[in-house]
C-alpha cells in the first residue's frame, strides 16, 4: 500500500442533511490519523440547501457521488464499491467523530488481526444528552440488540465477504444491526473500545424517532428474526434470559448507588452542612457584622456544599431514574441553599 492510497474510507450517505454535513466532514478532517478519504453519497436529496451544497463540494480528500434515492444501505454499498481503504467507516452526514476515533480504532485492529471491527461508546447530542455505553458485541448480545456504533471501523475485506449491507427495505433503520449481526454470525469478531469516540445526533425527524413500537418497526424485527432464524434457534435459551440478565445488572448498579447515597453522601453532606454553619457562626462571632466580606462568606459556604454536584450526577443516571425517587436529597439541597442565603442576607 503506497502513500497515496488511503487506509480509511469514510462512506457518508446524505439525504437532505446539508445543514449538518460540514460538521460531519470537519470531524473527519480533524482526525489525528490523516490517511483517509471521504466519499459522500448524495442519496437523491430533494431540498435545495443540500443539492446546492453538494453540487460543488470541494473539501480536501473528499468526493461526491450522486444516486437516485435508494436508502442508506444501498448508498453505503455504492460507497463501498468505490472505497480504496483497508478499513471502512460508515458515518452518517448528521453525526460526528472524536478526533482520535481513527487512531484508536486502527491501533486496536492492527494489534489484533483476529478482530474484524472496532466499536466504541457513544455520546448522544441534539434533542438528547446521554451516554450510550456497551460492553459486549458477541453473537448472543447482537441477537438481542445492536450494541455496535454505526461508524465502527470494519475491515473492507470482511464487509465484502458478507455482501455489504442488506438493501431489503423491510429492515427499516435496522440495516446497521443486521450488518453487524451478519458479520458475527459468520464467525467474525468485534471489540468495543471503552471510550466515547462517536457523537450521535438525536433529532425529532431522525429515522430512529420515526419508528416507535408500531407495525413498521415490528416488521423490521420480524425481518431480522427470519433472516437469522437459525441463530436465534441455536441460542434460544441465552436470548430468552438476556433481558433478566440486563435487568439484574441495572438492579445491582441501583443498589450500589443507593448504598453510596445513604452511607456516604448523605452523612458527608450533613457533616459539611454542620461545618458550614460552624464557620458561619465563627465569622459572626469574631468579626464586626458591618465589615464582613459577603463574598468570602458565600464562597466559604459554597465550598462546603460541593457534594451537591456529585449527588446531582447520581440523580441523572439511568439507575436513579428507574428507582424510587429520593426527593429527600433534593429537599436537603433546598434547605442548605436557604440556610446559606439567609446567612448572607443577615450580613
Please give the pLDDT value at position 18. Answer: 92
Question: Residue 2: what pLDDT?
Answer: 45
Residue burial 197-223, b: 16+ Cβ < 10 Å; e: rest: bbbbbeeeebeeeebeeeeebeebeeb
pLDDT given at position 269: 76
Burial of 107 (0-12, 13-18, 19+ CB in 10 A): middle
Secondary structure of residue 96 in the 3-state scheme: strand
Q: What is the pLDDT of residue 263?
A: 75
SS3 255: helix
The CATH number of 8-234 is which of 3.30.530.20, 3.30.160.270, 2.170.130.10, 3.90.550.10? 3.90.550.10
What values do phi and psi take at 168, rounded to 5?
A: -60, 120
d(CA 268, CA 274): 10
Task: Write down the pLDDT at residue 334.
Answer: 55
State how far the alpha carbon of 86 is from the alpha carbons of 16, 39, 109, 117, in Å: 29, 14, 11, 12
Other C-beta atoms lying within 10 Å of the C-beta of residue 335: 11
Alpha carbons 173 and 219: distance in angstroms, whole number: 11
Q: Going residue by residue through the chain (347 aa), what tens digit of pLDDT does each one get?
A: 445 699 999 999 999 999 999 999 999 999 999 999 999 999 999 999 999 999 989 999 999 999 999 999 999 999 999 999 999 999 999 999 999 999 999 999 999 999 999 999 999 999 889 999 999 999 999 999 999 999 999 999 999 999 999 999 999 889 999 999 999 999 999 999 999 999 999 877 655 554 555 678 888 899 999 999 999 999 998 888 877 655 545 555 666 666 777 677 778 878 788 887 787 777 666 655 555 555 665 665 555 555 555 555 555 555 545 444 444 545 554 565 566 566 555 55
State the Cα–Cα distance between residues 255 and 258, nearest whole angstrom. 5
Alpha helix positions (H), the chain:
18-29, 48-55, 72-82, 101-111, 139-144, 156-161, 175-185, 215-227, 229-234, 236-260, 266-286, 294-303, 307-315, 318-322, 327-346
- Decide: helix, strand or coil at residue 3: coil
* Full-model pTM: 0.70
CB 328, CB 270: distance < 8 Å: no
- 8: its cell numbers: 480509511
Q: Where are the domains of the chain?
A: 8-234, 244-346
> Quick check: helix, strand or coil at residue 292?
coil
Amino acid at each position: 500500500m503506497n502513500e497515496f492510497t488511503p487506509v480509511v474510507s469514510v462512506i457518508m450517505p446524505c439525504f437532505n442533511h446539508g445543514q449538518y454535513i460540514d460538521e460531519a466532514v470537519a470531524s473527519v478532517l480533524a482526525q489525528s490519523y490523516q490517511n483517509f478519504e471521504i466519499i459522500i453519497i448524495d442519496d437523491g436529496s430533494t431540498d435545495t440547501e443540500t443539492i446546492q451544497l453538494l453540487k460543488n463540494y470541494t473539501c480536501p480528500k473528499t468526493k461526491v457521488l450522486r444516486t437516485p434515492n435508494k436508502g442508506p444501505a444501498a448508498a453505503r454499498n455504492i460507497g463501498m464499491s468505490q472505497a480504496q481503504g483497508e478499513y471502512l467507516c460508515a458515518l452518517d452526514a448528521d453525526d460526528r467523530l472524536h478526533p482520535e476515533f481513527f487512531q484508536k480504532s486502527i491501533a486496536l485492529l492492527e494489534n489484533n488481526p483476529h478482530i474484524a471491527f472496532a466499536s466504541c461508546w457513544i455520546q448522544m447530542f441534539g434533542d438528547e444528552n446521554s451516554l450510550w455505553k456497551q460492553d459486549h458485541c458477541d453473537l448472543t448480545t447482537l441477537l438481542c440488540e445492536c450494541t455496535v456504533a454505526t461508524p465502527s471501523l470494519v475491515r473492507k475485506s470482511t464487509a465484502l465477504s458478507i455482501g455489504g449491507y442488506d438493501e431489503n427495505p423491510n429492515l427499516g433503520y435496522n440495516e446497521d444491526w443486521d450488518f453487524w449481526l451478519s458479520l458475527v454470525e459468520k464467525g467474525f469478531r468485534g471489540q468495543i473500545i471503552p471510550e466515547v469516540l462517536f457523537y450521535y445526533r438525536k433529532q425529532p425527524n431522525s429515522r430512529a424517532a420515526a419508528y416507535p413500537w408500531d407495525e413498521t418497526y415490528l416488521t423490521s424485527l420480524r425481518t431480522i428474526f427470519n433472516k437469522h432464524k437459525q441463530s436465534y434457534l441455536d441460542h434460544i435459551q441465552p436470548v430468552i434470559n438476556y433481558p433478566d440478565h440486563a435487568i439484574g445488572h441495572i438492579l445491582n448498579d441501583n443498589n450500589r448507588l443507593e448504598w453510596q447515597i445513604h452511607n456516604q453522601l448523605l452523612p458527608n453532606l450533613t457533616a459539611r452542612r454542620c461545618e458550614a454553619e460552624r464557620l458561619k457562626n465563627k465569622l459572626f462571632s469574631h468579626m464586626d457584622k458591618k465589615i464582613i466580606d459577603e463574598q468570602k462568606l458565600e464562597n466559604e459556604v459554597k465550598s462546603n456544599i460541593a457534594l451537591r454536584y456529585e449527588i446531582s450526577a447520581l440523580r441523572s443516571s439511568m439507575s436513579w431514574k428507574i428507582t424510587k425517587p429520593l426527593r429527600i436529597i433534593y429537599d436537603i439541597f433546598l434547605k442548605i441553599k436557604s440556610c446559606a442565603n439567609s446567612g448572607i442576607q443577615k450580613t
